[in-house]
Structure 1
Amino acid sequence: MSFLNYVFGPNLYMEYRGVPEPQRKMYEAGAVEKFGEQILSTLSVMWSVGYYTSPLLVTFLYRRGYLVTDSMPTLAKITTSVGLIVIISLVMRGLGRKQSRSYSNMIKALVRAKATKAPGDANSELRRFDIEFNAWPVDFDVKALTGDTKKPVVTARRREPIQLATLPCEAIAYLAIKTFGLSMIYPGSVKLVQKFMRPMLISGRAKLIEDDNGIRYKVKTIDSNEIDTLFIDNRNDNVGNGKTLVICSEGNAGFYEVGIMGTPVALKYSVLGWNHPGFAGSTGTPYPHQDKNAIDAVVQFAINNLGFAVEDIILYGWSIGGFSTLYAASVYPEVKGVVLDATFDDVLYLAVPRMPAALAGIVKVAIRNYCNLNNAELANEFNGPISFIRRTEDEIIAEDNHIDTNRGNFLVLSVLKHRYPNIFGASQLNKAKGLLSKPLEPYSIPAADEKLCMSRLITYASDEGKSFPMNIGADYSEEVRNLMAVFLLRKHLRDYNSTHCTQLPGEFFTMPWDIPTEQGFVFT
């Protein structure tokens, strides 16, 4: 084993599965490795600070005369000294790692896994270790698929040519989204946040792997990002829900290690979690086009590598993860269903109120050009079963916890209006808004009325198919439209008395309602 493998190898966080009790064993570096690593970390921080303050630093050195010809030998000596310190620190780190049995076993497993260049079980030895994920071999590369011309590469959204009059606004919007804007929309992509959460992520990942037999995979997207995923296979549980795969898309500060996977896992579904580009082990940046390519690669991985049929997949999204979920649903309309929890209709209507009113125009340009998360548009491209869960105490997608301002209300009504335009007229939409202005009571539509509503839907769908928009209701009276509107609203939406970030109880995770007909689903 080359000494350089130890010097430049990845950080080791934990060793588990098959090691002596206790199984979850955090890796502790020895004194030599720790000392070398601390020096390298300090120099790295100093380099980062110097890089970002380089204009000021160069000005300071120039004024002090350090950049003149006479001072060059001194600067050369300083550079040589720093280089020597780096070399000594690297050697110390390598020596310390080589003395560690755990690190030696890991680096040997990593070298063997890379040599095999094969996914899955070929990396089983390496799966005993939790390491810096950039060193993990790729398990599935979507570009290796052949013959799939159905889904084009998703690229950045094309914008209209910039007009001279709007150039200042466009420039400010571009700088804003590139500097702090995207970090505000996706705080989980901020490295400082990830560093703070690292112990929780390592612990959560270990729990999923050891308690639930999870397997971690690296999935490579069409735009060459590497996505960190974890799969829990419950297909051998013949009495549970294991034949159905739930693909979980997390929120803007959520990670699969500590996120929404827990709900379907507890219900014994097979579950596939993933982290957005730029989150934890995933590379890239969570711009919409990169996020779309990421979820597409994850679904392709589930189909082509894990062996699930599209019809056996439920797409589950929480909060901003609803965007990823709805995009996947628009590309894979045959999925079993879509479950959206605490999801909004359009991120623009969340961003504008949180910024000074004078900046509203810039915010709109930044969102529409660079981060256009319009869930309402995507939802109307999906023809299958869909359900919504609204948090009655939501403090994130509602203004001052006022339930009538919850952006989930607008998403639900947009979908229902699109799917049943003759039922949801102005009067019915106002009635629905009134119902949504307060927590919904437990479902209590009289049995006779429910039977009548269901009968109308089944008869129409059996004759005309279930493609949307559905023209049912054109000849209904106002009273019947009102009844049908309330029925459909209650069938699609459930209230959960909770704030935005609480784990969803299993009783709320159910198959989305669908019109029961004997005919197959019609896609248009």
Structure 2
Amino acid sequence: YALPCHIIRYRLNNLFSPSRYLCHSSFLIAHSFGRRMLYPGSVYLLQKAMRPMLQQGQARLVEECEGQRNKLVACDGNEIDTMFVDRRRVGGMQGQTLVICCEGNAGFYEVGCMNTPLEGGYSVLGWNHPGFAGSTGVPFPQNEANAMDVVIQFAVHRLGFNLRDIMVYAWSIGGFTASWAVMSYPEIQAVVLDASFDDLLPLALKVMPDSWRPLVTHTVRQYMNLNNADQLCKYQGPVLLIRRTKDEIITTTGPEDIMSNRGNDLLLKLLQFRYPKVMTDDGVRAVRAWLGASNPLEEASVYSSYEVDDDWCTSVLQSYQSERGQFFPWSVGKRPQLDSTLNDEYSHLGLLTCPPSLHRLSLCTCL
């Protein structure tokens, strides 16, 4: 039996169509070198080289900090390796708060950011990405979200913490799972994002040839869509962003160009969502000027040049919160267009919200 020529021609055209080629190429890239570039900690050779260090770090957490190691099974079947240090009996008020740590793309709880909250006296729960050290699977976004979900469920149902007593602390790419956590569990007390970014796509385009732009865009959006800003904007609680001014990982040009740091875009998107009437063109311009300062002295100079009245701005925000409630977005800043003086005053509100939301560190990012 022979197919008619027009059917054969149609099937051949469909087989080699640009859209089908794009889909197949994206799949191959994402599941080969793309995933390994994004999460080098999942590469076996790196894990083998770090094994003595990881074993030593794990032993220290167990022996010196009385850490408890647990394996959790996520809904996709992946086993997630975790370490819990309980400070509820000896840590005072801080010990009653659990800090869940989300590591970077080559970070492991054994040698990662758990040390920071431990030094502060908090109870801490660390975990490894799927495919990292003792965790199984591969670290695609859905697998990452599933891992974060089972970690939170474990903290609540087995460790006995209330969501309001949990904070999430994330390093670099860990901002994806952290922002997913607070989006999915809005009762969480607060989130701290250190050296994180708003969206993976601009960073992916930076390291790939310009001719690959359509392919990179499709691959990221289809398989590696780390949309931190979108997720963070769905959270109503306190947010602290830590920006590293010498960061070479999350800048789109270089660490010397501080305005190319994608942490700036994360802050701007958060402020634009929470205070849309304040973050007009004037408000955005003022915040960008503050973000572009190269040191704390320049920050203070920008702040003073706008003649920000801290007391007035604070009273406006507190008054709005007491009268309207605290759910974002706020309509504070809505004013008559003809009153230019009031427009200037309200544009200062954007500057006032920056220092409590963003902390500067004159450091680079380490994987």
TM-score, normalised via structure 1 length: 0.63
Q: Could you tell me whether the CA contact under 8 Å between 1:397 and 1:406 is conserved in 2?
A: yes
Q: What is the CA distance between 1:396 and its match in structure 2?
A: 0.6
Question: Is residue 254 of structure 2 the alignment partner of residue 400 of structure 1?
Answer: yes
Q: How do 1:4-153 residues align onto structure 2 when only pairs under 5 Å count? A: none
CA RMSD of aligned residues (A): 1.8
Q: 1:339 aligns with which of 192, 197, 200?
A: 192
Q: What is the CA distance between 1:240 and its match in structure 2?
A: 4.6
Q: What is the CA distance between 1:238 and its match in structure 2?
A: 5.1
Q: Could you tell me whether the CA contact under 8 Å between 1:247 and 1:272 is conserved in 2?
A: yes
- 1:283-322 deviations in Å (ceiling 9; x for gaps): 1110100000000000000000000000000011110000
Which residue pairs with 1:473 in the alignment?
333
Which residue pairs with 1:463 in the alignment?
323
Distance in 2 (CA, whole Å) between partners of 1:439 and 1:309 is 40
* Unpaired runs of at least 5, structure 2: 1-14, 337-341
- 1:91-130 deviations in Å (ceiling 9; x for gaps): xxxxxxxxxxxxxxxxxxxxxxxxxxxxxxxxxxxxxxxx
Distance in 1 (CA, whole Å) between partners of 2:308 and 2:209 is 52
Q: How do 1:234-313 residues align onto structure 2 when only pairs under 5 Å count? A: 234-237=87-90, 239-313=92-166
Q: Relative contact order (C-alpha < 8 Å, sep 6+): which is higher?
A: 2
Which residue pairs with 1:510 in the alignment?
none
Q: What is the CA distance between 1:277 and its match in structure 2?
A: 0.4
Question: Is residue 237 of structure 2 the alignment partner of residue 384 of structure 1?
Answer: yes
| Aligned CA distance change for structure 1 residues 356 and 238 (closer, same or farther; 3 Å) | closer
Which residue pairs with 1:185 in the alignment?
38
SS where residue 206 of structure 1 aligns? helix
Question: Is residue 175 of structure 2 the alignment partner of residue 322 of structure 1?
Answer: yes
Matched to 1:450, the amino acid is D
Q: 2:74 aligns with which of 218, 221, 231?
A: 221
Matched to 1:368, the amino acid is R
Q: What is the CA distance between 1:438 and its match in structure 2?
A: 2.7
Distance in 2 (CA, whole Å) between partners of 1:269 and 1:289 is 29
Which residue pairs with 1:32 in the alignment?
none
SS where residue 105 of structure 2 aligns? coil
Q: What is the CA distance between 1:166 and its match in structure 2?
A: 1.1
Q: What is the CA distance between 1:210 and its match in structure 2?
A: 1.2
Which residue pairs with 2:350 in the alignment?
485
Question: Is residue 292 of structure 2 the alignment partner of residue 437 of structure 1?
Answer: yes
Question: Is residue 214 of structure 2 the alignment partner of residue 361 of structure 1?
Answer: yes
| Aligned CA distance change for structure 1 residues 427 and 448 (closer, same or farther; 3 Å) | closer
Q: Could you tell me whether the CA contact under 8 Å between 1:424 and 1:481 is conserved in 2?
A: no
Question: Is residue 312 of structure 2 the alignment partner of residue 452 of structure 1?
Answer: yes
Q: What is the CA distance between 1:478 and its match in structure 2?
A: 2.0
SS where residue 92 of structure 2 aligns? coil
Q: What is the CA distance between 1:452 and its match in structure 2?
A: 2.0
Matched to 1:173, the amino acid is S
Q: Could you tell me whether the CA contact under 8 Å between 1:329 and 1:382 is conserved in 2?
A: yes
Report the more deviating stretch, 427-436 or 337-346. Answer: 427-436
* Unpaired runs of at least 5, structure 1: 1-161, 503-524
Q: What is the CA distance between 1:441 and its match in structure 2?
A: 1.6
Report the more deviating stretch, 361-370 or 479-488. Answer: 479-488
The percentage of counterpart residues that share the same residue type is 43
| Aligned CA distance change for structure 1 residues 326 and 298 (closer, same or farther; 3 Å) | same
TM-score, normalised via structure 2 length: 0.89
Report the more deviating stretch, 169-178 or 261-270. Answer: 169-178
| Aligned CA distance change for structure 1 residues 475 and 440 (closer, same or farther; 3 Å) | farther
Distance in 1 (CA, whole Å) between partners of 2:93 and 2:156 is 21
Distance in 2 (CA, whole Å) between partners of 1:319 and 1:238 is 27
Distance in 1 (CA, whole Å) between partners of 2:93 and 2:131 is 34
SS where residue 247 of structure 2 aligns? coil
SS where residue 389 of structure 1 aligns? strand
